[in-house]
Structure 1
Amino acid sequence: MEEGLSHRGLSELIGAIYDCALDPGGWETTLSAIADTFDCAVVSLTLNDLHHNRFLLNKAVGWKPELLRLKSERHVGEINARLTEWLALQPSIDELFVTSVHLSSEYIRQSLYVEECLKPQGIVDIMHMFLMYTHRQFSEIGLGRHARQGIITEREIELGRLLLPHLRKAVTISGILDMQVIVRDRMAEALDALLCGVVLTDERGRILHANRSAERMMSDGHPIRSVRNVLSASAPAASRELRKAIMLAARDKAQIGPASAIRLPDASLSPLYAYVLPLTAGKIRTRLHPRAAAAVFVGGPDDRSRTDLLARAFDLTSAEMRVLESLVAGHTLAETARHLGVAPSTAKTHLDHIFAKTGVSRQTELIRLAMQMALPVQAGGSEAAPPRDINPSD
């Protein structure tokens, strides 16, 4: 753009940038305003992990979702390599990297990132403004121009230098690059991807965090519920067991046995089981909620998928699988025999065969094994997969 940015326009843009220091949720809107100011089609704010070649943070505006996923999955290594090679030669990170200036036309022609992510969107040039840089990671704002907008000019470079100090200050104040905040957000995303319900509580059972599956269960009122923000079960006896297990977990993790399970019966559903994991000495507490004393896992409703997986894994016969399905549904062995129309001794023989094949010796252990066989994340492809763990020291 030939016309310079007015003082009023510059003031409004800087004001929007500093608004993000008070409300980090406004970054997408502000990034969009920055893209408009620079006459660019796409913009992204990233925090790049140099050890594992991944984005720890990636807020983007204008990018096609499928290409943004492809960029994250396949091309972070190339991006990191080119930018860090250049940064290592600069006297400071105040310098701006412009693709059309600092990369050869031959490299641009051969780049898989350009071919697979930029060309499909018509992006012909990108300017990178660096917010921070260490040997482990760097953060930058990347502004990309469409072919109809032309390549980056000196006007955009000068404007970038003008705004860069304000961007750095706002990013620092807002904490958007704070690793503890990023780790907490990623941990929450990972928990939301689980099929089973997960609730983090303090030692008194007060709910500190619940994933989406657990929120749905509590909203329905079964098999768990929130009573004045305290985790409870729909059955009073189960609630008492649950509170006791949480208190024991908070006091001494050794008191919770590996096979402990709290049955959560409900009149309208097959009974499920809650498992209480102590967090007093674990990393999840500090990463997701510092006051968390216990994590309560509640098995998801899809019992058939569990038994199918278990049957395939241990080569169970169809008769053995029917016995297993009945037991997982909460029926006793005698009830199972009546339901299947076989003698109790026959049902017992099938159960013994299941024990021999799976290597367990108790029904409680068998049911726990079946629960562990469930597919761990929500269906929906790569978007549902939990992100890899992040080391705050990275």
Structure 2
Amino acid sequence: MSSVMARLGDAVVDPTAWTDIMTSICEAAGATGAVLLQSDVRTPDVPRTASTEEMVQLYFAHNWHEQDSRASGVPRAMAGEVITDQDLLTPEQIRSDPMYNEVLYPFGFKWFAGIGFWADSAPWVLTLQRTGKEGHFETRETRLLAQLGPRLTETATLSTVVGRIALSSMTGILDRVRQPAVVLDRAGLVINRNEAADAGFDADIRIRDRRLIVRDRAAQARLDQVVDLIRAAPERAALPIEPILIRRTHKGPVVLRVLPVDGAARNVFLGARAMLVFANLTPRAMPEPGLIAQAFDLTPAEARLVALLAGGLSITDAAERLGIVRDTARNQLKSAFAKTGTHRQPELVNLVLRIA
């Protein structure tokens, strides 16, 4: 078991390592399968060994996680005790229990041991499953398994911290290029967002009670479908790639794209599942006039006008902002066209935005 505990550190930076680690724990403990379950929030996207795949699917599909008689032992497990079937149920209760008969027995499983641990403040249990031939867990075996609890707590808590740092880094990088982004967990709740997103939220698009809410009903329906998929789909299921168009009342439409969360940020304890990136949520930043003048050999006055146009103003509004008449602004614009080799205002703006 000591060699298995030494491998737990691998899961801190590589969440996909959990399956192999649990397989090794099974081999050391004489068990056939293992599943990681959060004690207070049960979801189907938990790490498990391949040997339990069909059983876990049935377990969640028919809501057995809401009526598992073994859940009564969770407080004892979180107190440091390794719980087993015989600790919680009598032999007669085990024989007659519907969950045992409909979920465990059909797949050859009969006996279990649960090792409680913490991921930050969240309670989790590593459950080991044995077949009838392998027999129940004896006291001497549970004493050995109890040594895993503190190491699992250390690994899970550190994994959660590393995941949060990774998420903050991801959204922070997008912040630097003024790209609004939020991150959803397995329940569809917002667990991270950057300043660019906060700056763009309003009555049309906002976060309420950790949920992303949009006024556009069609877009909200699409967003609800994404959340439903995140909640129900296996951990590695592909997310929808079609962007969601969100229409706003007094501003231009926003395009929302759903991107997967990978690496250390995608650990089971943090629960991050998707990053939502918004295009056109906030006004475009005006390019620096000095840079425009240098790039295209414009006069300072021409560069100031072009910068305002690239920032989204009309030529009339730009002239008013600069304190010049519209004809002067039009002449400066014509000169900018000639110097940049462009012929229309959108063409000029697109060219300038490439260096912004």
- TM-score normalised by structure 1 residue count: 0.44
- TM-score normalised by structure 2 residue count: 0.48
